[in-house]
Structure 1
Amino acid sequence: MLRKSKTSVAAAILLTSALTLTASAFAADPAEGRKLASQCKICHGLDGIAKIPIAPNLAGESQIYIQNQLKAFRSGKRQHEMMSVVAKNLTDQQIADLAAWYQSIEITARMPE
């Protein structure tokens, strides 16, 4: 019985270690995302404020939302002439970094008087 308990504890430790390594491998880095965003700035702006009328603002947008949309463009689930091409070669890490960058931009709104 003691041997079975030790095996279970060892398995739990191994699983926890593997999950921790996987999570840290995809830890988003906004600084890296900023570097990658240089290819996005023509349409979305480095500051996340769209430069053309058909592009959405990304500043302050949810990291999860941006990641989901980029992955949808990458997989072909969502289609757009430009975004499908841009997202096609992005890795999961690059997508996480881009999303972290745009989410990290603080935006403010002022109500009209």
Structure 2
Amino acid sequence: MGKLSTHVLDTAHGRPGAGVKLALYAVQGDERSLLKTAHTNADGRCDAPLLEGDALQPGQYELVFFAGDYFAGMGVALPSPRFLDRIVIAFGIADATQNYHVPLVMTPWSYSTYRGS
């Protein structure tokens, strides 16, 4: 069975994004259902997969990272409103037997992601 995981890297400070709040939603049409909230550990990862086994189903999902709160907590001077406050990554899972790793590389001004394993 597959699993869904994430990892946050703070490239503005050159370290893992520790303590970043995130929320995982299942998306069906215009409806979003909250599946889980979590915080990243000292390595920028969650302590357990976000979804695994029977909980991982094919479909559309969103990961929401509370990047603005993280950078404000780090003492970064941010404008109001923040340029990047919540980073939303919308993605699909086609095959629930595979591993889906959705990393976030972020600064207060930019971000990127990719499909990892």
Q: Fold-level match, TM-score > 0.5?
A: no
- Pick the TM interval, shorter chain: under 0.3
TM-score (norm 1): 0.23
TM-score, normalised by the number of residues in structure 2: 0.22
Greater share of strand: 2
Q: Which structure has greater helix proportion?
A: 1
The structure number with the bigger radius of gyration is 1
